[in-house]
Amino acid sequence: MSEPLQTLRADKWLHHVRLFKTRSLATQACAKGNVILDEQVIKPSRDLRPNDILEVVRGDLRLRVKVLNFPARRLSAPQVSDFYENLTPIEWIQKAAELRRQKELERPSEHEMQTKPNKQQLRLLREWHEQNHSR
C-alpha cells in the first residue's frame, strides 16, 4: 500500500474534497483569485499542507476550510469530513442565501424564460393582439 500523502496541489485537493465539480473549475477558481491562503491568492500548483486554512469563493458563497488530510483520489460525499473542517462563519452562509433569494425574485428562472406560452397565455395574447390591432 502507498503511504499517505503529505502535500497535494491546491487544484487537486479542491476537486478531491468536492469543493469543485471538476479539477478544471478548481484551477480556474485559483487563477481568478477565488482561493486564498494566508491572505494571499494562490496558484493551482501551490502545495497545501495540513492545517492550512483556505478561503474559497464560489459565486456568492465564501467558504473557510481547514485542510486536515490529503485523499489519493476524489472522495464520496460522506468521506469528505475526514479531510477538511468547515470553519465558515454562519453570517457568510446567511448572506449568500439572502443574495440567492434576491436574485430569484429579480429575474425569472431559465426554464420560465425558455418555455412556450401555454393555451391560456396564447388565448390572452390573441385577445390582446386583436384589441390593439383591430382599430
Q: Give the model confidence (pLDDT) of 92-123 as tens digits.
A: 999 999 999 888 887 776 776 777 888 998 99
Domain hosting 36: range is 8-111
Domain-embedded: residue 125: no
Pairing between strand 61-67 and 84-86? antiparallel
Q: Residue 66: its pLDDT value, please?
A: 97
CATH number, domain at 38?
3.10.290.10
**Looking at the domain assignment, is residue 1 inside a domain?**
no
In a domain, 124, yes or no: no
> What is the rounded distance in angstroms from the CA atom of residue 130 to the CA atom of residue 98?
43
pLDDT of residue 4: 65
Whole-prediction pTM value?
0.74
122 falls within a domain = no
Please indicate, yes or no, if residue 132 is contained in any of the structural domains: no
Does residue 1 carry a pLDDT above 50? no
- Asked whether residue 54 is domain-assigned, the answer is yes
In the block, cell 483556505 appears at 54
pLDDT tens digits for 27-67?
999 999 999 999 999 999 999 999 999 999 999 999 999 99
Give 41's Cβ-side CA count (13 Å radius). Answer: 10
| Per-residue pLDDT, 52 | 95
Q: Is residue 129 part of a domain?
A: no
pLDDT of residue 3: 57
d(CA 118, CA 4): 58
* Number of domains comprising the chain: 1
**For residue 119, is it within any domain?**
no
